[in-house]
Amino acid sequence: MPWWGILLIVLAAVLVILLIVLFVVGRKMQTRQAEAEKQMEMTKQQVSILVIDKQKKKMTEAGLPDAVVQQAPFYARKMKLPVVKAKIGPRVMTLIADAGVYEILPVKKTCTVMLSGMYITELKSVRGGSVPKLPEKKGFAQKLRKKAESLRAKNK
Protein backbone atom coordinates (compact mmCIF):
# COMPACT_ATOMS: atom_id res chain seq x y z
CA MET A 1 0.00 0.00 0.00
CA PRO A 2 1.39 3.45 -0.87
CA TRP A 3 2.25 5.95 1.86
CA TRP A 4 -0.57 8.32 0.92
CA GLY A 5 -3.13 5.51 1.36
CA ILE A 6 -1.97 4.92 4.91
CA LEU A 7 -2.06 8.66 5.54
CA LEU A 8 -5.67 8.87 4.32
CA ILE A 9 -6.73 5.97 6.56
CA VAL A 10 -5.10 7.60 9.61
CA LEU A 11 -6.74 10.96 8.83
CA ALA A 12 -10.14 9.30 8.42
CA ALA A 13 -9.74 7.52 11.77
CA VAL A 14 -8.76 10.78 13.50
CA LEU A 15 -11.78 12.55 11.98
CA VAL A 16 -14.15 9.79 13.12
CA ILE A 17 -12.75 9.94 16.66
CA LEU A 18 -13.05 13.73 16.66
CA LEU A 19 -16.69 13.57 15.52
CA ILE A 20 -17.53 11.05 18.25
CA VAL A 21 -15.91 13.26 20.92
CA LEU A 22 -17.79 16.33 19.65
CA PHE A 23 -21.06 14.40 19.67
CA VAL A 24 -20.58 13.26 23.28
CA VAL A 25 -19.54 16.74 24.49
CA GLY A 26 -22.47 18.32 22.62
CA ARG A 27 -24.92 15.94 24.29
CA LYS A 28 -23.56 16.78 27.75
CA MET A 29 -23.77 20.52 27.08
CA GLN A 30 -27.32 20.13 25.77
CA THR A 31 -28.46 18.37 28.95
CA ARG A 32 -26.76 21.02 31.12
CA GLN A 33 -28.54 23.76 29.21
CA ALA A 34 -31.91 22.01 29.58
CA GLU A 35 -31.36 21.69 33.34
CA ALA A 36 -30.35 25.35 33.63
CA GLU A 37 -33.46 26.45 31.69
CA LYS A 38 -35.68 24.33 33.95
CA GLN A 39 -34.07 25.87 37.04
CA MET A 40 -34.51 29.39 35.63
CA GLU A 41 -38.16 28.63 34.88
CA MET A 42 -38.72 27.59 38.50
CA THR A 43 -37.10 30.72 39.98
CA LYS A 44 -38.79 33.24 37.67
CA GLN A 45 -40.65 36.13 39.26
CA GLN A 46 -42.42 39.19 37.92
CA VAL A 47 -40.73 42.47 38.93
CA SER A 48 -41.24 46.10 38.08
CA ILE A 49 -37.98 47.89 37.17
CA LEU A 50 -36.90 51.31 35.97
CA VAL A 51 -34.31 50.85 33.22
CA ILE A 52 -31.54 53.41 33.72
CA ASP A 53 -29.06 52.29 31.08
CA LYS A 54 -28.30 49.36 28.82
CA GLN A 55 -24.97 48.47 27.22
CA LYS A 56 -23.02 45.53 25.91
CA LYS A 57 -19.96 45.01 28.11
CA LYS A 58 -17.50 42.30 29.00
CA MET A 59 -18.38 40.40 32.15
CA THR A 60 -15.32 41.72 33.98
CA GLU A 61 -16.17 45.35 33.10
CA ALA A 62 -19.93 45.14 33.72
CA GLY A 63 -19.81 45.57 37.49
CA LEU A 64 -21.31 42.18 38.23
CA PRO A 65 -20.67 40.56 41.64
CA ASP A 66 -17.35 38.72 41.97
CA ALA A 67 -19.12 35.42 42.68
CA VAL A 68 -20.85 35.58 39.29
CA VAL A 69 -17.62 36.37 37.45
CA GLN A 70 -15.74 33.55 39.25
CA GLN A 71 -18.42 30.97 38.36
CA ALA A 72 -18.39 31.83 34.67
CA PRO A 73 -16.18 29.84 32.33
CA PHE A 74 -12.98 31.55 31.15
CA TYR A 75 -14.28 32.09 27.61
CA ALA A 76 -17.50 33.71 28.86
CA ARG A 77 -15.57 36.35 30.82
CA LYS A 78 -14.20 37.84 27.61
CA MET A 79 -17.50 37.83 25.68
CA LYS A 80 -19.71 40.90 25.63
CA LEU A 81 -23.00 40.56 27.49
CA PRO A 82 -26.18 42.62 27.23
CA VAL A 83 -26.05 44.41 30.60
CA VAL A 84 -28.91 46.50 32.00
CA LYS A 85 -28.55 48.92 34.89
CA ALA A 86 -31.96 49.12 36.55
CA LYS A 87 -33.59 50.42 39.69
CA ILE A 88 -35.58 47.76 41.52
CA GLY A 89 -37.33 49.41 44.42
CA PRO A 90 -34.75 51.61 46.18
CA ARG A 91 -31.72 49.63 44.88
CA VAL A 92 -29.81 50.15 41.66
CA MET A 93 -28.67 46.81 40.27
CA THR A 94 -26.75 45.52 37.28
CA LEU A 95 -28.67 42.78 35.50
CA ILE A 96 -27.98 40.54 32.51
CA ALA A 97 -30.66 40.48 29.81
CA ASP A 98 -31.63 37.90 27.25
CA ALA A 99 -30.51 38.99 23.78
CA GLY A 100 -34.09 39.29 22.45
CA VAL A 101 -35.27 41.23 25.50
CA TYR A 102 -32.26 43.54 25.38
CA GLU A 103 -33.16 44.71 21.87
CA ILE A 104 -36.70 45.80 22.80
CA LEU A 105 -36.11 46.99 26.38
CA PRO A 106 -36.78 50.76 26.50
CA VAL A 107 -34.39 53.03 28.40
CA LYS A 108 -35.68 55.53 31.03
CA LYS A 109 -39.04 53.74 31.35
CA THR A 110 -40.65 51.57 33.98
CA CYS A 111 -41.13 48.00 32.77
CA THR A 112 -42.53 44.81 34.18
CA VAL A 113 -40.14 41.95 33.45
CA MET A 114 -39.70 38.32 34.36
CA LEU A 115 -36.53 38.09 36.42
CA SER A 116 -34.70 34.88 37.27
CA GLY A 117 -32.01 35.77 39.76
CA MET A 118 -30.19 38.58 37.98
CA TYR A 119 -31.17 37.48 34.46
CA ILE A 120 -34.00 39.24 32.61
CA THR A 121 -35.80 36.56 30.62
CA GLU A 122 -38.93 38.27 29.34
CA LEU A 123 -40.49 41.72 28.95
CA LYS A 124 -44.12 41.68 30.09
CA SER A 125 -45.24 45.31 29.83
CA VAL A 126 -44.02 48.89 29.55
CA ARG A 127 -45.59 51.68 31.55
CA GLY A 128 -47.13 54.33 29.32
CA GLY A 129 -47.01 52.29 26.14
CA SER A 130 -47.12 48.89 24.55
CA VAL A 131 -44.40 46.28 24.42
CA PRO A 132 -42.31 46.95 21.32
CA LYS A 133 -41.94 44.13 18.83
CA LEU A 134 -38.55 42.70 17.94
CA PRO A 135 -37.59 44.10 14.52
CA GLU A 136 -37.31 41.52 11.77
CA LYS A 137 -33.79 40.92 10.62
CA LYS A 138 -33.40 40.99 6.87
CA GLY A 139 -31.40 38.30 5.21
CA PHE A 140 -28.74 38.78 2.58
CA ALA A 141 -31.13 38.00 -0.30
CA GLN A 142 -33.75 40.49 0.96
CA LYS A 143 -31.14 43.25 1.20
CA LEU A 144 -29.99 42.54 -2.36
CA ARG A 145 -33.59 42.65 -3.66
CA LYS A 146 -34.17 45.97 -1.95
CA LYS A 147 -31.00 47.43 -3.50
CA ALA A 148 -31.98 46.12 -6.93
CA GLU A 149 -35.45 47.66 -6.62
CA SER A 150 -34.01 51.02 -5.59
CA LEU A 151 -31.59 50.93 -8.56
CA ARG A 152 -34.47 50.12 -10.94
CA ALA A 153 -36.48 53.02 -9.55
CA LYS A 154 -33.54 55.39 -10.10
CA ASN A 155 -33.02 54.26 -13.69
CA LYS A 156 -36.66 54.79 -14.69
Give me the residue spans of the domains in the chain: 43-126
Tens of pLDDT, residue by residue over 19-46, are 999 999 999 999 999 998 899 889 999 9
Q: What is the pLDDT of residue 35?
A: 94
Reduced 3-state DSSP string for the chain: CCHHHHHHHHHHHHHHHHHHHHHHHHHHHHHHHHHHHHHHHHCCEEEEEEEEEEEEEECCCCCCCHHHHHHCCHHHHHCEEEEEEEEECCEEEEEEECHHHHHHCCCCCEEEEEEECCEEEEEEEECCECCCCCCCCCCHHHHHHHHHHHHHHHHC
Q: What is the pLDDT of residue 21?
A: 97
Dist CA 91 CA 130 (whole Å): 26
Q: What is the pLDDT of residue 26?
A: 95
Given CATH 3.40.50.720, say whether it is the number of domain 43-126: no
Ordered per-residue pLDDT tens for the chain, 156 residues: 788 889 999 999 999 999 999 999 999 999 999 998 899 889 999 999 999 999 999 888 888 888 888 888 888 888 899 999 999 989 999 999 988 889 889 889 899 999 998 899 988 888 877 777 776 777 888 888 888 888 888 887
pTM score above 0.75: no
